[in-house]
Structure 1
C-alpha cells in the first residue's frame, strides 16, 4: 500500500471503529467494516474498483439517501456496482475530501444496518456524531 492508501485506511478505520460492536476484515479483497461481525456497512476501495479508478468508499444508505446525494453532488457521489441497487452510496475520496462529511456518511451507514440497541448505545455517548473522528479535512 502507498502512504496515501494507508492514510485513507487509517482515517476510515478510526471513523468506523468508533461505533459500537464494529469489526473489520477483508471482504472481496478490500477493507470492510461490519456490525456484530455480520452486516457490512462500509467498504474502502483505496485504488478504485472496476471502472471507478479513484479512491472511494461504498456506504450503506438509509432510504432515499442515494438519490438525494447523487442529485446534490454527482462529482462526489455515485451508485456503486453490486450494492447500488440496495441504496448504497459511492463516495469519492480524492484529495480534499471532506472528512467531516465522510464521518457523517459512515455513521449514517452504520445506523442503516445496526440493530436498535446498538444505535441506542451510539446515541447515549457524549458525542453521538463522529464528525471529529478521522482528522481534519
Structure 2
C-alpha cells in the first residue's frame, strides 16, 4: 500500500518538482504543469497519463485505476487508488507522469537516457 508520503518522497526527488496545495489537494508540478495530485482524503492519486490510453488502462484494471473527475477528462489524466499500488508501481507512475511534463533533455539526463536530438526542449 502506498501513502501520500511515499508519493511525496518520489516526486520531490525529481528535478524541478515543486509541491503546492491547490483546492485542498497536494499537487506536484514542473513549472505550471501539474503531473501528480493527491486527493484531499489521501486515498487516490491523479497523474499525467496519455488520454488515448487511459480507457484501456481503466478497463484492464478497474479495481485499481479510475477515470478523472468529469471536469478533468479533457486533460492527459487518470487516477489510481493508493491502497492498490506498491512502492515500485508508485515510483513508475510518478516518474512517467513527470516525464510527460519535464523538458525532454532534463528527463533524459535524470533517467540516464540518451538526450534527444537538438531542437527538442
TM-score (norm 1): 0.71
What is the correspondence of 1:1-137 to structure 2 with a 5 Å cutoff?
8-36=3-31, 38-47=32-41, 55-81=43-69, 82-94=71-83, 97-124=85-112
Distance 2:13 2:53 in 1: 22
RMSD: 2.0
1:118 deviation in Å? 1.8
Give 5+ residue unaligned stretches, structure 1: 1-6, 49-54, 126-137
TM-score (norm 2): 0.80
Q: Tell me the matched-pair count.
A: 111
Distance 1:104 1:45 in 2: 19
Distance 2:91 2:44 in 1: 13
Report Cα offsets for 1:33-81 as digits up to 9, x if no partner: 0113x11000011516xxxxxx000001135331231122011101111
Alpha-carbon contact 2:26-2:40 (below 8 Å) kept: no
Runs of 4 or more above 6 Å deviation:
none
